[in-house]
Structure 1
Amino acid sequence: MPNVHVVPSGDQWKVEVEGGAQAPSTFDNQDAAITSGTTLAKRLQVELIVHGKDGAIRMRNSYGNDPRDVKG
């Protein structure tokens, strides 16, 4: 299942699904993109990957398909 990414796009932010499974959505700020991306990742039960302005990964959250025997 493809993951959901929040990525910079000029002065805006996009929510993209890996492999182009869905057209990207564009937002004026990162917080709005993260909110939308979280909703989508939960619905698809995949990982949300948030990138910073430099493109580096800032945050990852998984919303499904986690192994059940993880210790911690």
Structure 2
Amino acid sequence: MTKGKNQHVVKHPNGWAIKGAGNEKATKVTHTQEQAVRVAKGIASNQQSELFIHGRNGRIRERNSFGNDPFPPKDKN
């Protein structure tokens, strides 16, 4: 399966937007960041891509991987 576009949750004049990496237009705009994150998680999971959640200041505050994680956790056993 080919990996899809990474998804970004970013501030938008009408609330919060979900944008695929490199896209100018938002895939969807929601009223709250929580709603946007929920939608973006579904998209990233389906596409086996990364999810980047940006804060109001535009900086990435959280990142989630929904595919082949480039930095998987090391087994502590």
TM (normalized to structure 2)? 0.79
The gaps in structure 2 that reach 5 residues or longer are: none
Q: In the alignment, what sits opposite 1:43?
A: 46
- Within the alignment, does 1:4 sit opposite 2:14 as a pair? no
Percent of matched pairs sharing the same residue: 37
After superposition, the Cα gap between the structure-2 partners of 1:68 and 1:30, relative to the gap in structure 1 and judged at 3 Å, is closer
Match of 2:34, SS? helix
Larger Rg: 2
Instruction: Pick the structure with more helix per residue.
Output: 1
- Residue 19 of structure 1 and its aligned partner are, at CA, apart by 2.1
- Residue 50 of structure 1 and its aligned partner are, at CA, apart by 0.2
CA RMSD of aligned residues (A): 2.2
Q: In the alignment, what sits opposite 2:61?
A: 58
- Residue 70 of structure 1 and its aligned partner are, at CA, apart by 5.5
Number of equivalent positions: 71
- Residue 7 of structure 1 and its aligned partner are, at CA, apart by 0.2
TM (normalized to structure 1)? 0.84
- Residue 71 of structure 1 and its aligned partner are, at CA, apart by 2.5
User: What letter is aligned with 1:27?
Assistant: T
The gaps in structure 1 that reach 5 residues or longer are: none
